[in-house]
Structure formats: structure tokens, C-alpha cells
Chains A and B, each alone.
Chain A
Amino acid sequence: MLHIVNKSATERNSLESCLRMATKGSAVLLIEDAVYAATQGSAAAAKVQAAMADVQIYALGPDLDARGMAARVLDGVKVVDYGGFVDLVTEHNSCQSWL
């Protein structure tokens, strides 16, 4: 299953709730303001790194670029473009947006 998070982890609890309910082997895609969580030194970095033991974390490249955060992405986080976003949706049997 693909989980999509779009809010900053220092503003909302959506990433935290997502990671609590993402089963092992699922994918988590960070888009829009959620991409900050995938960057070095962010408050959520440790949580994201710990989560990568069980789930693959992706971040949307154009959103990282737009926020000046592309060079700070955590090791292990896969950066995808919109084409990669579409592939993630089609490769997984369903998706949940953590609004």
C-alpha cells in the first residue's frame, strides 16, 4: 500500500499517524510540505530514519527543489518526480492520503 503525506511533521501529526499505521513493506511518499521531514537536521529526521527499517520512504523532487531542500535529503530516502509518483500509485494496490 502507498501512503501519501503532504503536511509538515512540525505542523501536523499526519506523518506520525501514517507511520503508526503503515504496515511493513509499504511505501510512504512525502509531498508538498511533508518533504521537510525527509531532510537532515529536521525534527522528524530521526523518526523517518527509524521508519526506514520497515517502510520505503520517497520524497517528491519538485517539492524539495521548490523549497530549496534538495541537497539536504536523508540517506535512504528515494527522490521521485511526478512520473515516479504515478508509478508508485500504479504499483501499489491502493493508496491513502493522510490529510
Chain B
Amino acid sequence: MSDMMDDMDGGEGVVKKFMFVNRKAPHGTVYALEGLEVVLISAAFDQDVSMVFTDDGVYELIKGMNTKGIEVKDFSKTYRALEGYDIEKLYVEKESMDARGLTEDDLIVDVTVLDSGEMASLMAEQDVVISF
């Protein structure tokens, strides 16, 4: 049914740099959860995928969440499954962690910590940047 894209053939074999930017805290809004769903799907397309966590997005990765009391799904464990999907480039902005009193030890997955300048350079070299 994707005939509108038929004139765009040549997509197969193309590997683009995709960056998914997470700037919002979990639970208060749905963006973190639905954003993660896109990232999981993107794994099937064999693209060069990076996930970035800045601002309140770093709260998505906090260890020890317990969502029973608010009766919503605890999807934080899904971040640990990303490796199984070959999504291994997880970046967290240092300034955002510092501003929230957090360190890597507080996070549920292994990440690469970049300062703002390094994050800016990484973002500038992407082909597609999708923000949630």
C-alpha cells in the first residue's frame, strides 16, 4: 500500500544516520514510551541508529522505577533490551545529568556521556534527527 513511495525506490541498502532525541521525562507524558517504540522498529531497517538523552529525557533511564502505584507500564527495562536489537549507541548529555544531580551510576543502562559541544557535533553529522 505504500505506492506513494514507489517513485522513491532505491531505499534498499541505504544506511542513514538516524538520531532519536529524547528530552522528556517518562510517565507524565507518553512521548518517552512511544519514542522508544519507534527506536525498536527502526532496528529492523539496519540503519545507523543513535539514541540521545538530554534535559528531562535523562530521567527516562533512572534505575529502580516502580510504576505499580500509578498503574502504567514500566518500560524502563526495555532500554536494557536495546542491545539485543543492535541499538548500542546511547548518549547522555553531561550538562543535563549535572543539572539534575545524576551520575552514570543512577542509570539503568550503560551509556556514553558527552558534553554539550560533543553532542552538538554528533547531532550535526546525522542524516535524520527525530525528536519526541
Tell me the smallest distance from the CB of B99 to a CB of chain A, in Å.
Answer: 10
Query: CA separation between A17 and B129, bound complex, in Å?
Result: 15
- Tell me how far the C-beta of A77 lies from the nearest C-beta in chain B, rounded to whole angstroms: 21
B127 at the interface (CB under 8 A from A): yes
**A21 CB contacts on chain B under 8 angstroms:** 54, 93, 116, 119-120, 123
Task: Give the CA-CA distance A17 to B93 in the complex, in Å.
Answer: 11
A20–B121 CA distance with the chains assembled, in angstroms: 11
Interface string of A10-35 (1 = CB under 8 A from B): 00011001001111001000000000
A23:B124 contact, CB within 8 angstroms:
yes
Q: Are A98 and B116 in contact (CB under 8 A)?
A: no
Q: Are A94 and B23 in contact (CB under 8 A)?
A: no
Q: Are B132 and A96 in contact (CB under 8 A)?
A: no
B131 x A17 contact (CB < 8 A): no
Are B120 and A22 in touch, CB under 8 angstroms? yes
Closest to A96 in B: B129
Count A-B pairs with CB separation below 8 Å.
40
Cβ of B128 < 8 Å from any Cβ of A?
A: yes
Tell whether B88 is near chain A: CB-to-CB under 8 Å.
no
Kindly report which residue of chain B lies nearest to residue A4, judged by CB atoms: B131
B42 to chain A, nearest CB (A): 16
Residues of A within 8 A of B120 (CB): 20-23
Question: For residue A94, which residues in chain B have a CB less than 8 angstroms away from its CB?
Answer: 124, 126-129
Residues of A within 8 A of B (CB): 1, 13-14, 17, 20-23, 26, 93-99
Given A1-B123, A22-B120; 7 other pairs, CB 8 A cutoff: A14-B23, A21-B54, A94-B126, A94-B129, A96-B21, A96-B129, A99-B131
